[in-house]
Structure 1
Amino acid sequence: MTEPAAPGWITRYATAVIRFRFPILVFGVIGVVLLATNATALVINDDYRYFFNDDDPQLLAYNDLQDTYNKNDTILFVVAPKQGGVFEPDTLAAIEALTEAAWQIPFATRVDSMTNYQHTEAEGDELIVADLVEDAASLSSEQRAYAAGIATTEPLLRHRLINPAATATGINVTLELPGVKQGEQRPAVARAREIAATMGDQFPGVDIHLTGILMLNNAFDEAAMHDMATLMPLMFAVIALVMALLLRSVSGTVATLTVVGLSVMAAMGFTAWLGIPMSPPSSIAPTLIMTLAVADSIHIIVSILQQMRAGSDKQTAIIESLRLNMQPVFLTSLTTLVGFLSLNASAVVPLNDLGNITSFGVAAAFLMSVTVLPALVAILPLRVTARGEESPLMDKLADFIIARRGPVLAVSVLVVFGFAAMIPNNELNDEFVNYFDTDIPFRAATDFTTEHLTGIYQIEFSLPAAETGGISEPDYLQTIEHFAGWYRAQAKVVHVDVLSDTMKRLNKNMHGGDAAAYTLPASRELSAQYLLLYEMSLPYGLDLNNRIDIDKAATRFVVTVENASSQEMRDLVESGAAWLRANAPTHMQVTGSGIPVIFSYLTLANSIATFQGTLLAFLLITLTLIISLRSFKYGLISLIPNLVPSMVAFGIWGLVDGQVNFGLTVVSALSIGIVVDDTVHFLSKYLRAKREKGLDTEGAIRYAFGTVGRAITVTTLVLILGFMIMMLSDFAMNEGMGKLTAITLALALITDFFMLPALLLVLQPKNEKASAPARPVPAA
């Protein structure tokens, strides 16, 4: 007994679309254009803080630290002479000039360099505080050698603003941005680049590199704008070319491109209307939407062409295509929507945005595919050559699977388990510098800085004293001194900025420069006097507000680390907190913070949250398939081709790379809704053949390959190309997401063409008898 061909309402709906094709097209386009006018209000959020939820405990701790001391928004000029050292006359003059010019940067509140380092000496009972280098061009060789000896040995400078070999030095500019709008760093970055270019021309013997937190924010900004400006047009061109080559239909290509364009416009307009900003991770949403919008259109267009090649007129073909594809297209759109909405479980706010923006686009693509697309096809001329045999390659593939079902399934299982065993080779690791390609100026400058000057990752502690003014207590100073010594002994640590070093230097100064006096002051009163005398001698902009709180009840303790993985960063933070618990009084037992610290914990939190979101999406999608396919058995069978691609993809990644940042942790959630599309279309056609046409398993598999094999191939190819275009992104996170998702989608096609039909054949009822011709006409 067979079931009705399809709900009558779909036929009536398709007939109405054809009848009212002109109003549908006009109102559809006008509605999208009106919505898209909001897109001019889109903004790019370039602040690294936007990656975190407002209640993220690590971010809150870091914000508290910055509220206590000066903010850590910085631009670091790194100066390296092309020949010789930094104390050569021309190079020293360049450093001094650059230090002065850096004050011109908008929002600059402090400039620290080797030349304006506040060197201390004592004359009798008087403490002399002055720039280490003044009027560099007039210094004698002896004076330059004296300055070099101090700079390369002073703990506050060595491995922070100068390397021990004196071949590279840094000028660190601290800025206080208003914090009222996006892109505030742009004028500061532009001025810094202008200064670097001017100084490079004036002093051709030096190279100048720009890094720092503000340059990081600006790199986020530029990466997002670059991706939106380049990837979208490239993707549109690729879609047009692929559609033209594979469909061989001008009208079909034009109709599909119209749906793609309208879907992106609607999504971006809706995004702006909701006030969602763009960011580097979410900047790929338009490219994703374009890729996904093609999938719905291809199934409908290919089916129309199949019907017409089988002899149907255009209107009948449109009606039959909607009758055959309405359910699977709706189902694939729904599952894709669920997959992307599951990104809201991510702990990374831009990834939440990516999921939501793409979901808008998926919903718009479905609406456009079942309204504007058939209406436009009904209007445009569409001519095809009638022919009986539609997909000889698909027929041969079906015959191959049917004849070799056992070996195909066995090899598939072995391959899956083999690659799944490689998944543990992957390591969760987020180094925000590595979010950018090596040809990005920020990345290149930061790599140079790490190699030649200092690390750019910092762990910061605010170490409280027992009371106001308590930082002068000998016990407090002794504790932070020992803490600094412990950290300096740890691997990966290149510098520790601690108040005790300054206090030892002042004690030595006030004892006539006696090396034996390079110790901590003996009493609280003496420490307080030294500190007051020192602070009163410091010039404007170079005070101790960035190291001591206003009540002198806490000091900033900064550990600079070379490139470290997320796990290594967390280990250093937690080991430091453990040391304080074991060796410091209760009021000093705090935990470190800092930008790389909060990113390292974000990776861990995001992997857990994403796994939970992916699991929920997977369960919802499976339940949806069970209900939609009206079969518990086939709903469970669909689990296999939906799970296998991600498992094998991460196994392959574990072999070839192994580094998983929080962008890659969402690939399973991102791809699961897409991967299920091919499975849905194949199983829906397979079940239609069995239920409506009474075919046996072998006949149903041939029918599925014949009717949907070409469309699945085309859609998957377009999807793979779309994600491969993401690999051209300057933002390495997007590049990795594109690469891993493309691999996953390729594996999904292979799984649906080999493993799934082999599994259906192996599980077919033993007493099943052939009940239809071996190879039915696909369009029938």
Structure 2
Amino acid sequence: MSRRAILCLVVMAALFPVVLYGAYRALWSMNDDAVSWTGSNLDSRRRLEWFDAHFAASDSILVSWNGCTLDDARLDRFAESLESGRYAWLDRVVTGRQILEELTAPPYGRHRAEAIAQLRNVMIGPDGETTCAVVILTDAAKENGREVLRELRAVAQDDGGIDAESLHLAGHLVETATINSASLATLKRLSLPSTLLVLIVAWPFLRSLRLAILVLATASFCECAALALVHFGGSQMNGMLAVMPILVIVVFVSGAVHLINYYRDALPHLGAAEAPLHAVRVGWLPCTLSIGTTALGIGSLALSHVHPVRLFGIYASLSMLLVLASLLIVLPGSLVLTTRYEAARGRIPSKPGHGKFPSRFWEAVAIPISRYHGAFVIAWIAVTLAASAGLPRLHGSMHVSDFFSRDTRIFRDHLWLERNVGPLLPVEVVVVFSDPGSWPMLDRLQVVSQLEHAIRTTPLEVGTVSMAAFLPKPGDSATVRDTIGRTLFNRQIESRRNELISASQYLATEGGRELWRIHVRLPSLSGTRYEDAVAAIENTVRRATAALPKEEQLRFSVVYTGMLPLLADAHPALMRDLIVSFGSSFLMIAVTLAAGLRSWQLGILAMVPNLFPILTVFGLMGWIHPAMDPGTMMTASIGLGIAVDDTVHFLTWFRRGLADGLLPRTAVRNAFQHCGNAMVRTTLICGAGLAVYGVSSFAPAARFGILVSLLLAAALMGVLMFLPALLSGPLGRLVAGIRK
């Protein structure tokens, strides 16, 4: 086996450059489009794509700063500096002052107060003075959003004379670039500390510098190979894939701890030559079941319609198979090499290495659980049911605060802009005229104006803009003069129809239909549920439509799209993904365990204690913090997959005790003696490694790390208390009967 061990290490070393190259390319491919965090199967997603195809709405960045008012000279300097810089990512810059001057000049001729009211909460703030610049981008901006923001900030500071701390930015590109930066920062800053913490926690089981180095080298190889899979698979990194490397390491190291536990248990009896082979013979099945169920739990996320979550499910589950192969092929050889070194120095123990204190401790734990097993089971069920009563309160959430913590720059910028300039979340209300040639264009314009006016009257703080803002206002009186004026005005805009369609982003055609766009903005940080905000707009438009003459109502329909309706639809979709992924992972893991343990009763029994952490932790979440973001949604399936590991190893030792003729209660104590330390250690390894990510600036990754750690801690309690109580009662006797 030593020859095979050296060969495995040589092959791993030879592949390392290729793996490192793939990992490097994967890290530089970070592209976390904010829209990708919504379900690809949503009707609102398809409506948004339809809208983009017809109105060709370019991406833009809203820019403002402390003291940016209509008479701030820095506004013009900033716009002129950007436009003279000839940046490939820049289309044009529009400022609030420019639009105001256009609306008050001929041919529009608005009064200044009227024009300011028209632009309030869109380009001009609630105070009527604070304004902004809208930087309209080209498609080239998507290639490197972080570089675009760096250059934009440099222009604002160097040419515009704007203090960097007082500059506030918002927009789709800003969110995407910030997610990318936060994801990369998560990998760069937290990977090494979490890996070192994992090794420190695992050290009492490794107890050998050489073995620790070999385990670290193999785990690092698996980590880099997992990232390389993303590159060679033709995908790009995203925020959730940033937690995949540490997940690979903790699963490998925890699996190594269990395999080393089998090895150290056999070492005093079989000697250095046979112990590694015995560890593989005894441990391959529980290790395969443990890591295999983890892969199934993670792989169930591939059913999600949220693109980053689906990619995580695919690549992280494939990485688990790589971890399993490395664990069973490379680690036994590493044990052989390490054992030779220890044997040469007389460090091979002659007695089982459980120790007196751990034995007494686990004896003290096992005896009361076995004796009062009925009370433990009843108490456990009561706690689970009480906590799970909070499950119906859970709901999906895709707010800004679900992606960025309140102390981040982007969150503070959003807050400042919404308070001083206006709401940021867009809703696109598209009025579709099915037969525009059957009535005058002026009448169609008036319908759009009436709907826009109704939207402005909603109780929500809104800003709106439509084609009506950029056309002269005809008279509304019934005098002959005004009637003639409206007729002439209608002819004028009819003659300019094609020009308006090609030059404006507020009018388009589709076949024989005419599409008029009302751009609406609503607040993202007001605390209003997105579903309620969209419903308020829809109800307002519905009431305004009902007030029109019946013949006019039949001539048009309304389509609601934009980021806000998309996010509103994404909330229930997250819960559907949670139910589907967890349900499928539960079934797949149960079937796998039943097949691996050769008993459907044992397969079901193994799943029962692992429902406790999911129901309890998520139930408590429902009472404390019911909002679930994509990172939180992922944890149920992953937590289940990892939590099953300790159950498998406990049942393995329990069945070995039964096979040796022990009674169920004695077999429970035997299982505690042999794998109690390993179960606690592996939970600490996984929990500590993932909990480090709780300080990530990318909120879904932070919640993922913390929540999985809590799930693993709860799962350990279930395996150490609930499962032994079940096995000490009638179910244990049933299992003993199965063995006979």
TM over 0.5: yes
Q: Which residue of 2 aligns with 1:742?
A: 709
Q: Take 2:493 and 2:310, find their aligned partners in 1: how far apart are those partners?
A: 52
Q: Which residue of 1 aligns with 2:518?
A: 557
Q: Which residue of 1 aligns with 2:664?
A: 697
- 5 Å matches for 1:116-127? 116-119=98-101, 127=107
Say which SS state the counterpart of residue 559 (structure 2) adopts.
coil
Q: Take 1:73 and 1:486, find their aligned partners in 2: how far apart are those partners?
A: 27
Is 2:289 the partner of 1:303?
no
Q: Take 1:453 and 1:34, find their aligned partners in 2: how far apart are those partners?
A: 51
Q: Which residue of 2 aligns with 1:38?
A: 22
Deviations 1:77-112 (Å, cap 9, x if unpaired)? 12222xxx835x6xx112222232343454322322
Q: Take 1:520 and 1:204, find their aligned partners in 2: how far apart are those partners?
A: 54
Q: Take 2:154 and 2:543, find their aligned partners in 1: how far apart are those partners?
A: 45
Whether the 8 Å CA contact 1:398–1:705 is kept in 2: the answer is yes
Aligned match for 1:61, one of 47, 56, 65: 47
Amino acid at match of 1:642: N
Q: Which residue of 2 aligns with 1:404?
A: 372
- 5 Å matches for 1:104-183? 104=85, 105-119=87-101, 127=107, 149=113, 153-155=116-118, 157-166=119-128, 168-178=130-140, 183=143
Q: Take 1:471 and 1:80, find their aligned partners in 2: how far apart are those partners?
A: 48
Q: Take 1:577 and 1:356, find their aligned partners in 2: how far apart are those partners?
A: 43
- 5 Å matches for 1:681-760? 681-690=649-658, 692-760=659-727
Q: Which residue of 2 aligns with 1:184?
A: 144
Whether the 8 Å CA contact 1:493–1:562 is kept in 2: the answer is yes
Q: Which residue of 2 aligns with 1:285?
A: 244
Is 2:229 the partner of 1:270?
yes
Q: Which residue of 2 aligns with 1:322?
A: 280
Question: Displacement of 1:429 after TM fit?
Answer: 1.6
What's the TM-score, normalizing by structure 1?
0.84
Q: Take 1:339 and 1:213, find their aligned partners in 2: how far apart are those partners?
A: 32
Amino acid at match of 1:97: R
Say which SS state the counterpart of residue 473 (structure 2) adopts.
helix
Whether the 8 Å CA contact 2:156–2:162 is kept in 1: the answer is no
Q: Which residue of 2 aligns with 1:440?
A: 408
- 5 Å matches for 1:345-364? 345-364=303-322
Name the CA shift for 1:586/1:238 in 2 (closer, same or farther; >3 Å): farther
Say which SS state the counterpart of residue 78 (structure 1) adopts.
strand
Name the CA shift for 1:553/1:633 in 2 (closer, same or farther; >3 Å): closer
Amino acid at match of 2:78: L
Q: Which residue of 2 aligns with 1:482?
A: 450
Q: Take 1:336 and 1:767, find their aligned partners in 2: how far apart are those partners?
A: 27
Say which SS state the counterpart of residue 419 (structure 2) adopts.
helix
C-alpha RMSD over aligned residues? 3.4
Say which SS state the counterpart of residue 169 (structure 1) adopts.
coil
Q: Which residue of 1 aligns with 2:10?
A: 26
Q: Which runs of 5+ in 2 are unaligned?
A: none
Question: Displacement of 1:546 after TM fit?
Answer: 1.9
Is 2:69 the partner of 1:86?
yes
Q: Take 2:129 and 2:103, find their aligned partners in 1: how far apart are those partners?
A: 26
Q: Take 1:190 and 1:253, find their aligned partners in 2: how far apart are those partners?
A: 42
Amino acid at match of 2:675: V
Name the CA shift for 1:662/1:38 in 2 (closer, same or farther; >3 Å): closer
Question: Displacement of 1:566 after TM fit?
Answer: 3.8
Question: Displacement of 1:176 after TM fit?
Answer: 2.0
Q: Take 1:618 and 1:71, find their aligned partners in 2: how far apart are those partners?
A: 43
Deviations 1:305-338 (Å, cap 9, x if unpaired)? 3333x45422322122222211000011111111
Name the CA shift for 1:230/1:687 in 2 (closer, same or farther; >3 Å): same
Q: Take 2:734 and 2:121, find their aligned partners in 1: how far apart are those partners?
A: 78
Question: Displacement of 1:615 after TM fit?
Answer: 1.1
Q: Which residue of 2 aligns with 1:669?
A: 637
Whether the 8 Å CA contact 2:455–2:541 is kept in 1: the answer is no
Deviations 1:654-684 (Å, cap 9, x if unpaired)? 2321111233222212222111111111112
Question: Displacement of 1:647 after TM fit?
Answer: 0.7
Q: Take 1:331 and 1:655, find their aligned partners in 2: how far apart are those partners?
A: 34
Q: Which residue of 2 aligns with 1:194?
A: 154
Q: Take 2:554 and 2:694, find their aligned partners in 1: how far apart are those partners?
A: 50
Q: Take 1:315 and 1:713, find their aligned partners in 2: how far apart are those partners?
A: 28
Q: Take 2:493 and 2:734, find their aligned partners in 1: how far apart are those partners?
A: 96
More helix by percentage: 2
Say which SS state the counterpart of residue 132 (structure 2) adopts.
strand
Amino acid at match of 2:281: R
- 5 Å matches for 1:640-679? 640-679=608-647
Say which SS state the counterpart of residue 117 (structure 1) adopts.
helix
- 5 Å matches for 1:435-584? 435-467=403-435, 473-503=441-471, 506-507=473-474, 523=486, 525-527=488-490, 529=492, 545-549=504-508, 553-563=514-524, 564-572=528-536, 575=539
Is 2:241 the partner of 1:241?
no
Question: Displacement of 1:525 after TM fit?
Answer: 4.7
Whether the 8 Å CA contact 1:79–1:168 is kept in 2: the answer is no
Is 2:189 the partner of 1:230?
yes
Q: Take 2:410 and 2:494, find their aligned partners in 1: how far apart are those partners?
A: 38
Q: Take 1:122 and 1:457, find their aligned partners in 2: how far apart are those partners?
A: 27
Name the CA shift for 1:407/1:485 in 2 (closer, same or farther; >3 Å): same
Name the CA shift for 1:230/1:204 in 2 (closer, same or farther; >3 Å): closer
Whether the 8 Å CA contact 2:92–2:136 is kept in 1: the answer is yes
Q: Take 1:161 and 1:420, find their aligned partners in 2: how far apart are those partners?
A: 47
Q: Take 2:69 and 2:197, find their aligned partners in 1: how far apart are those partners?
A: 51
Q: Take 2:463 and 2:494, find their aligned partners in 1: how far apart are those partners?
A: 23
Name the CA shift for 1:768/1:260 in 2 (closer, same or farther; >3 Å): closer
Amino acid at match of 1:400: P
Q: Take 1:212 and 1:206, find their aligned partners in 2: how far apart are those partners?
A: 18
Question: Displacement of 1:32 after TM fit?
Answer: 5.0
Question: Displacement of 1:495 after TM fit?
Answer: 1.1
Say which SS state the counterpart of residue 275 (structure 1) adopts.
coil
Which stretch has the larger CA shift, 46-55 or 162-171? 46-55
Q: Take 1:710 and 1:354, find their aligned partners in 2: how far apart are those partners?
A: 31
What's the TM-score, normalizing by structure 2?
0.88
Name the CA shift for 1:709/1:471 in 2 (closer, same or farther; >3 Å): farther
Q: Take 2:436 and 2:169, find their aligned partners in 1: how far apart are those partners?
A: 39
Q: Take 2:488 and 2:146, find their aligned partners in 1: how far apart are those partners?
A: 46
Say which SS state the counterpart of residue 673 (structure 2) adopts.
helix
Q: Take 1:60 and 1:26, find their aligned partners in 2: how far apart are those partners?
A: 51
Amino acid at match of 1:162: I
Q: Take 1:237 and 1:107, find their aligned partners in 2: how far apart are those partners?
A: 42
Deviations 1:576-611 (Å, cap 9, x if unpaired)? 675588566456323311123223323322421342
Question: Displacement of 1:475 after TM fit?
Answer: 3.5
Whether the 8 Å CA contact 1:335–1:674 is kept in 2: the answer is yes
Deviations 1:403-424 (Å, cap 9, x if unpaired)? 3323322221221111111222
